[in-house]
Chains A and B, each alone.
Chain A
């Protein structure tokens, strides 16, 4: 950090640390930035960080490097991101992200990510949804895995580096990063003022519960996809950390904004993603004109196929944003019963593309199809259907604007939640994607959020009056004891309900009723049923009594969290009576002739974040209170937040991908503005 050196020891010589929970891209980038600022870190993760869900990202990472002579720029990227999110995203952080993107991709390249190359040895870029530009850098079709490994390696290097005191002397036995893998975050330690001073976590092998003081805590725990049972998410993505923080007072934003990816492979245990990059490289979506056509798809001639996305969106074709594509697939399969053989499946066809090229650019995903379906996708069209994929919503976080309206780097407000000392980054925050995320923006937003959060937290801990490590031990032992009591109570449950069975019921209901199309009477039933599940949860049985590597009891805890967030998602969906991005109610669709309230996107009433606050319980049933504004503090700054969206950088416009260059050329003046000089992608000291 320019100007100041963080003093990482207390007066009594203890090493002060910040805790990061979650070791995916966002968490790891936060750790790296903290270490570079001289702040030692304790890193907690449910799994070895190298196995975090970021590995599942396939297609690539967006950055307007403009190497193809198309005239792309960060400004266009910003506008397409905001439009893609149907104006629910906070614009200053989005601008900061788009400006930083080229620097981030170059940084990852320097870290050794094996990005695909052009013949000149430059980075190659491909197309993705919601844009007409080649903006997506990629490493085969396992880009998330490659990015995660690069950051994991840098963090591993910090695991070997000594902590130095303010005289530059190494402190024996203290490394910059201490990893706690196979540890489950169970509670924040809050002091009497409600400031976060550390956390309690549980070792999932020995089942030991332990409190850790921390000068700040940053959650980087990903999305809650497992609430929907089967999804494209890893099984660790239960959203538990956010549910815990929400229960302890942190405000949750836009929970109802759940992205459904148009193309996944159905499976018994999970719905496996087939990346948008398949369409970015030329893949075509179609169904036979006669749904009951029994021929092998390769024998169905071109004129007897229906390329329904290309027909309706002649410019974007198969690369309309995900919410648009998923609704079209859903309509074809459910509405018209025109899926393959009348089933919920459509073809995703790559067979017209030379095999050698597919092997270079898409082998990672085609291998998944081949392994899990047993059919060769190089020579047969794949069968796919939409699946729950990503949560745009998450923990509410703050940002501070700079003079040009972008994000002010180093401000302790950036990525700060409504609980002082608690930060949140990555899919678990809410601010970058609005109502719908563009493909290949997630890898970018995770890393950017980490780059922003690191300096923000460093500033925050630099200015603390009192370190958590100087507080009385009782503050921590008290929470540790109460968590032990809660755990012992869970461990002694001898009811009749199997927690895994309850989860299956929850998942099936959420997947059926709270995804692509949402109907208020159905949502009301879901909310009632959620209450019943919460009641049945109190009668849950411990199915495993072991005191070692017991997975059943932590799962009960996760299930409780999933039930809480399922309610936030569903009640948020019920309240938001409009159509915006991924949130679609046929009864409110102004293009649906049967709609009872045809208003479409309702900017007058709903151009605002859904802010959910824990409302306690009524018996076993949890309660959500939706708020419009609240007070909070960052260090000594007293602040006030509302649910307003910062739309200072781009005016509202209609979102219509049937038209030419929907994103930015609709406003030609925006395109003609000279590109502003990109800001450094980090907190580099000014010369």
Chain B
């Protein structure tokens, strides 16, 4: 793209009354422009394309390098991180309009901000942690094969950004489905040599209503995950383990 070009940002805003409306902003293109730099431009000059001064758009952001998970939003119809959405790449097939909306599967706070606290509650539910004896010096941790680390590391990069929840057709008002991210965390902690010791607690937490069995296998999660986490594999592994436990677990009691 060239200097002098104008990109139109169509942004879904909250109105005072609770309903929503769209504001359009014309923003000059600049090298390495992304959705965040455009939103920052609006902060400095919050004027719509029809010349009206409005309140700057509000959104969540922090690291701007796709590692904190803050800036998830729906951009041109697809959920993604605003920081790594480069305008040149987004509009490579032409066009000069970018639509930005908040995620829809979480309660709306304002403009592009939604309340994702249910995701952190889900991490409590599945006990996504090692049951550590304490932080005093107990010597080295368990040895692990490099292959184990190579399986765990990609799972451990989940930023709790919410993209998988937003894209999932099984997460809706009439379904309590927990979401792919939490299932993948069960797999992660059940892989770890000491995490394994509490594997059944996590499998029990992810069984039943809203658990892994509620996945409808649409596979949208893996499509939208910004960190390319093998979420579908995780669902398969955890699904198999919960099934095994349901079928044979009583034998071990």
Contacts and interface: CB of A to CB of B under 8 A. Distances in A.
Contacts of B156: 114, 139, 146, 149
A360 B150 contact: yes
B153 A114 contact: yes
Contact of A109 (B34, B124, B141): B141
B60 A47 contact: yes
B192 to A, nearest CB: 5
A545 interface: yes
Contacts, number: 207
Given A154-B129, A235-B62, A374 B88 contact: yes
Interface residues of B, number: 74
Interface string B16-45: 100000000000001111101100100111
A385 B150 CA distance: 32
Choose among B56, B115, B136 the residue with the greatest number of A CB atoms under 10 Å from its CB. B136
Nearest to B30: A268
A110 B132 contact: yes
Given A114-B153, A140-B153, A544-B56, A145 B62 contact: no
Contacts of B131: 157
Given A116-B149, A269-B36, A552 B192 contact: no
Given A117-B146, A234-B62, A55 B68 contact: yes
Given A47-B70, A140-B153, A549-B113, A36 B62 contact: no
A545 B16 CA distance: 11
Contacts of B61: 235
Contact of A236 (B62, B153, B159): B62
Given A142-B157, A156-B128, A112 B135 contact: no
Interface string A220-242: 00000000000000111000000
A159 B62 contact: no
Interface string A100-125: 00010011011110111111111100
A549 B129 contact: no
A549 B117 CA distance: 16
B109 A549 contact: yes
Interface string B137-152: 1111111111011101
Given A153-B123, A157-B129, 6 more contacts: A106-B138, A117-B148, A123-B140, A142-B157, A156-B129, A549-B110
Interface of B: 16, 30-34, 36-37, 40, 43-46, 55-56, 58, 60-70, 83-84, 86, 88-89, 109-111, 113, 115-117, 120, 123-124, 127-132, 134-146, 148-150, 152-153, 156-157, 159-160, 189, 192, 194-195
11 contacts: A50-B160, A51-B69, A56-B63, A106-B138, A106-B141, A107-B138, A110-B142, A112-B192, A119-B146, A205-B113, A451-B135
Q: Which 8 A-B pairs have the closest CB atoms?
A: A109-B141, A121-B143, A153-B129, A684-B136, A544-B55, A549-B110, A269-B37, A268-B37
